[in-house]
Structure 1
Amino acid sequence: MKKLLHKILRKKIKLFLEKLRYRNPNKNDIIKLISRLRPENTGIELIRLGNENDGGYLVPDVLKDIEACFSPGVGNVTSFESACAKMGMKIYMADASVVNPVPGNPQYNFIKKFIGKEGKDDFITLENWILDAGIDPKADLLLQMDIEGYEYEVLNSTSLRTLKRFKIVVIEFHELHMLWNPKYFSKAKKAFDKLLKNHVCVHIHPNNCCGIKEVNGIEFPVVAEFSFLRKNEIIELGNEIEIPHRLDRNNTNKKTIKLPEIWYVG
C-alpha cells in the first residue's frame, strides 16, 4: 500500500513540476510566434526542385555554390535529392526505415539511421552525421528534413554553428495545431527561435494530407513545408509575397487547402 501511495505521490509531483516548467501559452504568444515565421520577400526567386507533388519543394535560387545536400527522412522518394545531384551537390541521405534508395551511385551517400537528439541504437545526431561526412567546414550546405515530428528535438539538439552552415533549410513541420499545448509550444518555440537567429522564412506550403485545424480562433495547417534562407544571402526584404506560389502543388489527391492568412499577412 505504501509503495502505491509513493508512486501516486511521485506522479503528482512530476505533473506539478511540469506545469511550473511549461507555462500555458496565450493567444498573443501564439500570434507572436506565427508573425516571426511569416515568409518574406528576399529579392531572390523561388524555384521548385523535385516532383510535381509530394517530394518537391520550393527553394531560393542560390544553389550554385552549395557543396552538399543532407536529407534525413528520405523514404523511397528521392526526386528532390536527384535534382540537387544534377546541380553537382553531394547527396547525404539517412533513414533507418528503408534500404538504400539509390544503391551503387557514388554521388549518393546513404546511412540506415534515423536522425535524432542523441546518437544511440538506430539514431545519429545531425551534428555527428555532418562531421562524419568529412566535408570542408567552410562549405555551404542544404538541409531538407522530413522526420515526422522529430524535427523540433533535432533542431534543439543541434548547435547554432552547425545550423548556420546551411545556406538553405527546408523542413516539414508537423502537428502545428499543437502549439496550444504548453510542452509542445515550449519545444517548438525553442526550435524556431534557434533557426530564426541566422535564417529567415521565405515560403510556407501547407501539406494537404492533413488539412487545417482551428484552435481557439487561430487556424493552423496541421503539416506544412517551410523554406528558409540564411540571412547573409538576402538581397532585400519586402512584404509582398506570392502565397500560394505559382509553383506550389498538392502533396496528395485530397482536397486542396490554402495557407490561413494569419501565417503570411501581418
Structure 2
Amino acid sequence: MIQAFIKNSVERLSGDQVWLERSADFSRLAEFVHSVRPRATTTPLVRIGKPGDGGYLLPEDMEGMKILISPGVSTEVSFDSEMSKRGLHSFMADASVDGPPVDDPNFHFFKKFVDVHEDNVNMRLDSLCQKVPPELDGDRILQMDIEGAEYRVLLDLSEENLKKFRIMVIEFHHLTRLFGEWQMQIISATFRKLLRHHYVVHIHPNNVAPPTQRGGVSIPPVMEFTFHRKDRTALIESGKCLIPNPLDADNLPYRPAVVLPECWR
C-alpha cells in the first residue's frame, strides 16, 4: 500500500524539508490547463512598463479609470509610473521596502505585506482596496506580484472587490505544484474564482526557470496572466491569441527564453 502511494506521489521540497504529495490526476490537470488558455478578444493589447521584468501586456481598455491596486513593490515601479502618466493613482503595499524607489504624487504607499490577516505588518487585499477615497472609486486595475501568496490572497478577496477590477495582471508562482493533487485543488480553485467574471487574454512565462514536463503536460513555474472583465470585451470565437505576442519581452535577458508550451495555448 505504501509503495503504491510513493509510486503515485511527487516529491516536494520546502527549505530543508522533503515530503511526498499524491500526484494530480493528469486528465484533470489537462482540463485545468485547457480552462485557463488565453482567449482572443476584440480588445487589442498594449505593453505598459519597461521591456523585461516589470512590464506587462494589458487590454487597451483603461479610459476613465483612476485606480491601480498594486501589491508587491520591491524596487521596480515602471508599470506604476506609466499608469501615473495616464492619470491613475497607485495604491501600493509592501513591507519589504520603505517606499517606492521614485517619488510620484499619484503613489500611495503602505508598508505592509498583502496576506489574509491583519496585524502590524500584514493587510488583506480588501483592506488595501478600501484605502481608495470615495471620489476616486470606480473600475480598477490590479497588478500583483507577491511571491506565492497570490493564491490565498485571491481566495480571500471579496466578490465585490473582484468585480471592480476591469483588468488584472497577476504573476503566479510555484505553478509546477499543479503536479500535486492537493496543490492543484488550491490553484484551480483560485482560477475558477477569477474566471467567473474575467477572461484570460494573455499568458507570458517568466524565464526565471524552464518548464517542467510530466505526463504530456509542460508547466513553466512562474507565469504572468492578464485578465479582462467579461462585460468589457467580446470573444473572437474563431480567433486564436497570438502567443508569443510581439510585445512580449523576456523578464531576464541573460537567461534562455521560455516560450509558452503548446498545451497552454
Superposition TM-score tier, normalisation by shorter sequence: 0.7 to 0.9
Identity fraction in percent: 36
Q: Which residue is 2:6 aligned to? A: none
**CA distance in 1 between partners of 2:104 and 2:78 (Å):** 15
Q: Which runs of structure 2 are paired with 1:73-222 in the superposition (5 Å)?
A: 73-102=72-101, 104-135=103-134, 139-222=138-221
Q: Which runs of structure 2 are paired with 1:21-40 in the superposition (5 Å)?
A: 25-40=24-39
Q: CA deviation at 1:104?
A: 4.9
Q: Which residue is 1:233 aligned to? A: 232
Q: CA deviation at 1:223?
A: 0.4
Q: CA deviation at 1:25?
A: 3.1
**CA distance in 2 between partners of 1:31 and 1:121 (Å):** 41
Where 2:41 maps in the other structure, the secondary structure is coil
Q: CA deviation at 1:23?
A: 8.2
Q: Which residue is 2:255 aligned to? A: 254
**CA distance in 1 between partners of 2:30 and 2:136 (Å):** 37
Question: 2:173–2:223: 8 Å Cα contact kept in structure 1?
Answer: yes
Worse-superposed segment, 235-244 or 192-201: 235-244
Q: Which residue is 2:61 aligned to? A: 62
Question: 2:67–2:137: 8 Å Cα contact kept in structure 1?
Answer: no
The structure 1 segments of at least 4 consecutive aligned residues displaced by more than 2 Å after TM superposition are 22-25, 102-106, 132-138, 235-239
**CA distance in 2 between partners of 1:225 and 1:135 (Å):** 30
Question: 1:203–1:228: 8 Å Cα contact kept in structure 2?
Answer: yes
Q: CA deviation at 1:241?
A: 1.3
Question: 2:91–2:128: 8 Å Cα contact kept in structure 1?
Answer: no
Question: 1:66–1:167: 8 Å Cα contact kept in structure 2?
Answer: no
Q: What's the CA shift string for 1:85-141, capped at 9, x where partnerless?
A: 111001111110011115653211001110001112311000011113234586000
Structure that is richer in helix per residue: 1
Q: Does 2:45 correspond to 1:42? A: no
Q: Which residue is 1:18 aligned to? A: none
Superposition TM-score, scaled by structure 2 size? 0.87
Q: CA deviation at 1:184?
A: 1.1
Change in 2 beyond 3 A, CA 1:67/1:46:
same
Q: What's the CA shift string for 1:42-62, capped at 9, x where partnerless?
A: 111100000111000000000
Superposition TM-score, scaled by structure 1 size? 0.87
Q: Aligned AA for 1:168?
A: I
List alignment gaps of at least 5 residues for structure 2: 1-20
Q: CA deviation at 1:24?
A: 5.7
Q: Does 2:253 correspond to 1:244? A: no
List alignment gaps of at least 5 residues for structure 1: 1-21
Question: 1:177–1:215: 8 Å Cα contact kept in structure 2?
Answer: no
Q: Which residue is 1:19 aligned to? A: none
Q: Which residue is 1:11 aligned to? A: none
Q: CA deviation at 1:36?
A: 1.1
Q: CA deviation at 1:187?
A: 1.2
